[in-house]
Amino acid sequence: MRSPFGARLADEVASLVADSIEANAVPTAYITHPSFLLHDMGPYHPECPDRLGAIGDRLISAGLDPYLRHYSAPAATDDQLARVHSREYIRLVEEESPMTGLHFLDPDTAMNPHSLAAARHAAGAVILATDLVLSRECRNAFCAVRPPGHHAEPSRAMGFCLFNNVAVGAAHALANGLERVAIVDFDVHHGNGTEAMFTDDSRVLMVSTFQHPLYPYCGLDNPSPNMVNIPLSAGTEGKGFRQAVTDKWLPALERHRPELLFISAGFDAHREDPLAGLKLVEADYAWVTRELIGVASRFAKNRIVSTLEGGYGLSALGRSAAEHVRELIAA
């Protein structure tokens, strides 16, 4: 015979499970792939497999993982990649893929024997995320991918990036009937590749903040009306970042009225990140995510696809990504 305490405890657990099921009626997707852990550019490279472990561990310890629906990323096809990359470049990446060891495409960007598969699955993750939110199978999605993508240009790998994941996803959305999308990039480094792919394309609004001067040393000289690039000086804290979002991003997003919101979610503007000098904290990432959720609720039927870009201080990355995902779950 169960004690009254045991009965109450069982009832409470059942209630929590029921609440969890209800909260996940239209869940947040979490998309990743085993190949991302095999892509490795050397023992001292900051863009390392441990980055995904830091995020996954934090999601578990913060109690968020049960509220996510997990998916395995498919590999992007040549036709899907060719919406934003030249076919010559896609062939080049295939040809440069090494059988053993490391092969450097630029001083910062290397391939090992698993990198090509990882890059195809990283782009495929954003394609799957786009399909999931457009079909309403999921409310929104976070793609925990490597390698990152926003520096990859139509015919060039750079800045740790092989294929431009967020651009592949945005092009997929447009190819499947949407008329307007927006790409929001809060990585500390400017998303030069995304800018190159969509400059003067009125269907795509890109809004970004980035530290300047800092790699890739651009982002100030594009007069295209669909590019809203806001440079921030080293040492800028959350107040300055939030002011840029409020004054520049949000009005542009309101005018554009995107039908789907993509996020290049780089967490390397955190004050603990070793590769840059902005001073954001976890609360800033939670705040900007809530602001973007508000935009998506007004114009995009709550549809958001977020994909990992930078973030190289492992503890800060894990904490920041978890707060970002927490807000997506709560949307």
Catalytic (active site) residue 151? yes
**Catalytic-role residue among 39, 121, 151, 189:** 151
**Among the listed residues 113, 121, 164, the one whose alpha carbon sits nearest the alpha carbon of residue 145:** 121
Chain-centroid distance, C-alpha 73: 14
Answer left, alpha or beta for residue 302, where phi above 0 means left and psi between -120 and 50 means alpha.
left
Token pair 């780089």 in the structure block, residue: 266
- Catalytic residue positions? 151
